[in-house]
Amino acid sequence: MVLFHNKSELQIHLKNKCRDAGKIALVPTMGALHKGHLSLVTKGIQENRTVVVSIFINPTQFDKREDLEKYPSTLKKDLELLATVSEKLIVFAPSVSEMYPDEVSTKSYNFDGLEDLMEGSFRKNHFNGVATVVEKLFRIIEPDRAYFGEKDFQQLAIIKKLVKGVNLSVEVIGCPIVREGNGLAMSSRNNRLSKENRAIAGFIYSTLETAKNLFGTKSALYITDWVKKEFLKHSEFSLEYFEIADEVNLRPIKKRQDKIKYRAFIAVYLQEVRLIDNMPVN
């Protein structure tokens, strides 16, 4: 495994040792790695000659300072975990000044309104921050393919738009959500939950499953109402949003159409930890 903190050194390595040898994949992460991240890395290895895993806690995508400060930084452990997957990985772990040499600023994008829905409406400027850092990573690494998790489904849709909008030739590949035994979507934030809460957090998944089953016979309005009531019954949780939306444009469902694929999206607070999840419903 090779570790780079410096972008020019990484670029020289890629040019001399990788670029002509085959496809280059990028797996962007913020570290505190778990099996969800590793599934992306594994897919990257299966489909490409070179895999770069970036580990960078991007300050511009945090809307709350305390969230950024609380974000776990575990580089040594992350490298050990990555080494269990492959010794051939390239890891890029830059500092903030390496990624934002002039000033820590956020570029403003237009994603046709995608950025204002769901996550975007609760986390102002979040997707501009994500796109800013992903565009920087794409320009530094120039990958052929980039792997993102469906766990952050809206982010995946935004990155696909970003690539078109700024004319980059990266193939963006979505990967399925990896879950814990009780169905909780794996996340670096899960470590902040107490053991008890981590166990009950499977309720988010089971609610999505029931919503999916209900979607066969009930209206989206009925299901949304039902989900709200379910969360009111479980006071450990605080529901931020639940929505059934078109999987392509992420607009909330109005009149159901047979040809359209819908997905349920949810954001919930448990013990002040914000958890998101989603599931296809048809």
Closest CB to ligand AMP among residues 119, 152: 152
Which of 10, 18, 30, 227 contacts ligand AMP by CB under 6 A?
Answer: 30
Nearer to ligand AMP, 123 or 151 (CB): 151
Say whether residue 185 binds ligand AMP (CB under 6 A). yes
Is residue 180 a contact residue for ligand AMP (CB under 6 A)?
no
Which residues, in sequence order, are CB contacts of 164 under 8 Å at separation 6+?
A: none
DSSP letter assigned to residue 145: E
37 lines the binding site for ligand AMP (CB under 6 A): yes
Q: How far is it, in rounded angstroms, from Cα 116 to Cα 249?
A: 12
Beta-sheet strand order (sheet of 273-280): 237-246, 262-270, 273-280
Q: Does 131 bind ligand AMP (CB under 6 A)?
A: no
Q: Tell me if 106 contacts ligand AMP by CB under 6 A.
A: no
C-beta of residue 102 within 8 angstroms of C-beta of residue 14: no
Choices 30-38, 211-219, 226-234, 248-256; region in contact with ligand AMP by CB under 6 A: 30-38
- 171: three-class secondary structure by DSSP: strand
- 37 noted as active-site residue: yes
Among the listed residues 5, 13, 34, 37, the single catalytic one is 37
Q: Are 28 and 100 in contact (CB under 8 A)?
A: no
Question: How far is the CA of 145 from the CAs of 28, 78, 244, in angstroms?
Answer: 11, 22, 29
Binding residues for ligand AMP (CB under 6 A): 29-30, 36-37, 39-40, 148-149, 151-152, 175, 177-178, 185-188
| Catalytic machinery residues | 37
